[in-house]
Every structure is written in C-alpha cells, then in structure tokens.
Structure 1
Amino acid sequence: MSNPSTGRSDRLRQIVVISSATFAVIGAFVGSGAAGGIPINEASGGALAADATLIAPGGPAFAIWTPIYLGLVGYAVWQALPAQKADARQRRLGYPIALSLVLNAFWILSVQFDLLPLSVPVIVALLLVLVGFFRLLCRSPPRNLIEAILVDGTMGLYLGWVSVATAANIAAVLVTAGFTGFGLDPDLWGALVIALAGLVGVGLAVYGRGRWAPTVALVWGLAWVAVARLTGSALSTPTAVAAIVAVIVIVIVIVVVAVTIRARGRRGSNSTSGETQHEH
C-alpha cells in the first residue's frame, strides 16, 4: 500500500520542477530581448559581449542554449508523467534541477538589471549545483534512452557550458571593475584561464567515465573562444592557440577514457561468460 505522504511529496517535487522550468523559460525569453528586455550581450553596458574580454566566446556559441532549454523543458514534462512520480533517481535529481533553473533565471535578471557583480556569485552557485548534480548522475545510470537524453545529456551540456560561462562572466566583471591583471600581459591571462578551463574539461571526462555531453559543451565554448580571438575585434593569438590546444586535449582524453571503459566492460563480460561456460 502506497504512503499518502510520500505520494504528496513526489507530486510536490514534480510541480516544483515544472514551475522552475517555466520561470527559467520566461527568464530566457526576457534575456533574449524578445520581451522588451535587453539581449544579454548588450546588457550591463555590453560587458558580456563577444569582444568584451579575451575569454568571451563568439556570438554563435550561445546557440547551445537552444538544445539545453529544449532538454530542460522536455525533462520538466517527462518527469511529471505518472511513471516518474515515484522513481528513486528522479527523487534525488528533481530538486537540484529545479534549483539550477531558478539560479539560471536569477542570473539573467541580475544582468538585465545591471547588477553585474551579483551575477558572479549567482553563476558560481549555479556551477556548484551542476557539479553536485553531475556527481549524482555518475552514481546511477539512466534507465532508458529517453532518460539518458533528457537528464544525462541535457544536464551534461548545461554543466559544460556553464563552466565556460563562469570563466567568461568572472573575466567580464574584473575587466569592468578595472582589474589590470597585476601587470601581466592580457594575452597571458587569457591563455592561463583557457588552460584552466581545459583542465576542467579533462577532469569532467575522467570523472564522468567518458560521458560526452559535458565535454561537448565545453569544447563547443572553447572553440568559439578561439574563433572570436582570431576573427573578432578583440584579437589574441595566444588565447586562441590555448583554446585550440585545450579542445584537442579534451577530445583526446574523452576518446581514450571512453574506449578504455568500453574495453574493460568487454573484458569483464567475456570473463563472466567464460566462467559460466566453465561451470557448465
């Protein structure tokens, strides 16, 4: 017999996720400028524009928000179905996803209202939530392809992109505040920050045991940083080279990790099969 209080708790979780997704979509709509707001790349005096800092990705990079938002909306609808109401994995993941959606909307609002310094703690909090969420994902596999796409795939892209966006956001705030880099050359700073982002990508590839979504988004962002530094108004060959090298390294690591894990799985499967045949 089901517990009524547990059922109410599950329904509340589903409602919270749907509400937070709605809030995030409205925030994104405002942030796009479609509802009379200022587009993100023009808000806060253009601090987040593609040429504002050497860490900023080129404009087309932000197209990645389309599959992320579609995935998040799809998840909100899917998790509200009766089959997911009492699912143990969704019980663990529902509220962290809802929190990430609320933080995302607050980040957009902070930029829209010219509260750029506030955007840093908000996006850092968002990144920490997504990192914690990624750890939860790695502890339990999805049950089917739909869950793999809507949950693991969407949230992986989300994490990878926010990793790049956090670096760009912090750089924008520092430049706006007049930070001079302790006298170091801006090209050096750009290359160092990109190298750090590359290390994050390697870490995600290894810890995620070959999960592609986070590294795809991170590589996408770094690739557009390289394009912007080679073709935009804020040119920086060292930063572009660092971004290209980071992309290559991340791709190599994710391929090696994925192949290694698959090979181990096959060896384990063959070993089990051999033991079974020997017993017979």
Structure 2
Amino acid sequence: MVTHGKDLVRQIGVLSATSFMIIAALVGGGAFGGTPVQDLQDGALAEDGSVLAPAGPAFSIWSVIYVLLVGYAVWQALPGQRARSRQRALGWWIALSAVLNGCWLLLAQFTTLPLTVAGIVALLLVLCIAFQRTVAIPAEGLLDSLLIDGSTGLHLGWVSLATVANTSAWLTATGPSEWADAATVLGVTVLIVVGIIAVILAWASGWHIAPALALTWGLSWLAVGRLTGEPSDVAIGTTAIVIAVVVLLVTAVGKAADRVIDMRNAEA
C-alpha cells in the first residue's frame, strides 16, 4: 500500500491521544493530589451514589481497557501498520475515544455532574462509530482482533453501562426526593432495555463477544452492590444478574452457531 504523510500524522495522533488519556486518568483519579473519583461531586459517582452504580471492584476493568489501548497505540505506530485500510478507518476514532475518556475524568474532577453526563454520552457515540467500523472491516490476525476489536468492544460495553450509572447518579443527586419511590421500577426497566440493546448489538455485530463481556462484568458487580451494599435493592440486583446471564449466554450461543455454520460451509 502507498503511504501518505497523513498516515504518519494519524499514528502520532493516536499516540498523543493515548498519552493524554493516561495523564488525564492520573490527574482525574487524584494521583497528583486531587480528589479520588469516588469522592467527586459530593460522592455522587461512588458505588453507593445511585441504585444503578456497580460495586467498586467493577472499575478494575479500566486497567484492562487501558492496557489494550496503550498496546494498540504502540502497535498501530509500527511502519507495517501505517497504510493499512483498517488503521485508516479506525485510528482517528479510537484516538478520539481516548481523548474523550480522559476528558470525562477531568470533567468529573473540575466541573459538574451534567457535564460528566454530556461527556460520557459523547464518548459512547464515538465508541459506537468505532465499533461499527471494526465490524465493517474484519480483523486480520490475533493482534488485530485483540488490540482493535478487543479494546473497542470492551470500551463500548463498559461505557454503555457507565453511561447509565452516570446518568442515574446525576438524577439521584439533583432530582426531587419523590423520585426515590420510583427508583426500583425505573432501575429494573432501564436494565431490561440495556439487555435488549446488548443482544441486538451482539447480533448486528456478528456476535462479537467483547462488549458482552464488559457489560456482563459491570452488571454482575451492579448486582453485588445492590444485594450486599447500599443502597440495597433486591429487585434491581436480581434483574442485573438475569440480564448479565442472558446477554452473555445469547452472545456465546450466537457466536458458537456462527462458527458451526462457517465450518459446514467450508466443508461443502
């Protein structure tokens, strides 16, 4: 493939965006003396900030996502990746997702809850576009699949649930006290909608497993938070478990069925 100057610019852009994300994560997470995320916004973003907040250990998934994104940034900068059509289609979108990821932490640290919701919605939209492109242009090899499909899929799956939790935290912190009476019904309804969207996404993407894995992880810890922590809500916790099992099972079965069909077609 013919290499253009803009390919090198893209590679540098991805490296720069990823570096910004890591620095912003350190600043936004309180590593340089700032307030830890769980204490920001008067505790609204903590695991007990709303009925749709996952328990604390759920957020360890960020370590996996960050490692994959850093791995992608280094890998895409290699000369052999410079002119690949998949990198050209995805590089800037993944870079933008890294920038918005870092911006959310800065918004949480220095601005208001409504702005954090706007920030995470923007990140979600960018990840939807990036993931759609991973589906439209299939991976070639293990690294391609792991560092592009894996990082983008996990990022999308987790941010999908994080958007729900972030919005719930905002509404819980700013809404009238009467809303608390409807929290269980609304929470269960939202989780069911999330599950339906997740299954549709899995089907439309050819049963890509990464978004389902991240969403299942988050829903499982949401269930732990509601069944063993505060605020306690058995209905929401139970619903989260059921939705997590359904999403993961449907995706796994769909992917297995696709593999069987492919094998039969190859033998025909």
TM-score range, shorter chain: over 0.9
1:201 Cα deviation from its structure 2 partner = 1.8
Mapped partners of 2:111, 2:17: distance in 1: 23
Q: Does 2:111 match 1:114?
A: yes
Q: Give 1:199 shift.
A: 1.5
Match of 1:34 in 2: 31
Map of 1:219-230 to 2, 5 A cutoff?
219-230=216-227
> Does the CA contact (< 8 Å) of 2:209 and 2:252 recur in 1?
no
- Conserved? CA contact 1:43–1:114, under 8 Å: no
Bigger radius of gyration among the two: 1
Give the deviation of 1:182 after TM superposition.
5.8
Contact 1:202 1:254 in 2 (8 A): yes
Tell me, which stretches of 5 or more residues in structure 1 are unaligned? 272-280
Q: 1:203 to 1:21 in 2, by over 3 A?
A: same
1:31 positional shift? 2.4
2:241 partner letter: I
Q: Is residue 2:247 matched to residue 1:250?
A: yes
| Distance in 1 between residues matched to 2:99 and 2:29, nearest whole Å | 17
What are the Cα deviations for residues 236-266 of structure 1, in whole angstroms up to 9, with x where unaligned?
0000011011011112211221122112101
Match of 2:210 in 1: 213
Structure 1 residues 270, 181: CA separation in 2 closer, same or farther (over 3 Å shift)?
A: farther
Distance 1:56 1:88 in 2: 39
Which has the larger displacement, 179-188 or 60-69?
179-188
Which whole-Å CA distance do the structure 2 matches of 1:171 and 1:228 have between them? 15
Give 1:7 shift.
2.0
Q: Is the CA contact 2:52–2:222 (under 8 Å) kept in the aligned structure 1?
A: yes
**Aligned pair in 2 of structure 1 residues 108, 264: CA closer, same or farther (>3 Å)?**
same
Distance across 2 between alignment mates of 1:181 and 1:214? 35
CA distance in 2, matches of 1:247, 1:183: 25
Report the aligned-residue RMSD.
1.5
Gaps of 5+ in 2: none
CA deviation map 1:23-59 (0-9, x unaligned): 0000111222211121111111111100110000000
Measure the CA separation in 1 of the matches of 2:100 and 2:177. 30
**How far is 1:132 from its partner?**
1.0
Distance in 2 separating the partners of 1:81 and 1:157: 23
Verify: 1:74 aligned to 2:71, yes or no.
yes
Stretch of structure 1 that moved more, 55-64 or 31-40: 31-40
Instruction: Give the SS at the match of 1:66.
Output: helix
Contact preservation (8 Å) 1:44, 1:113: no
> Contact between 1:32 and 1:40, CA under 8 Å: does it hold in 2?
yes
Kept after mapping to 1: 8 A contact 2:24/2:102: yes
Task: Give the TM-score normalised by structure 1.
Answer: 0.92
Aligned residues: 268
Runs of 4 or more, structure 1, over 3 Å off, are 179-184
Q: Distance in 2 between matches of 1:179 and 1:64?
A: 33
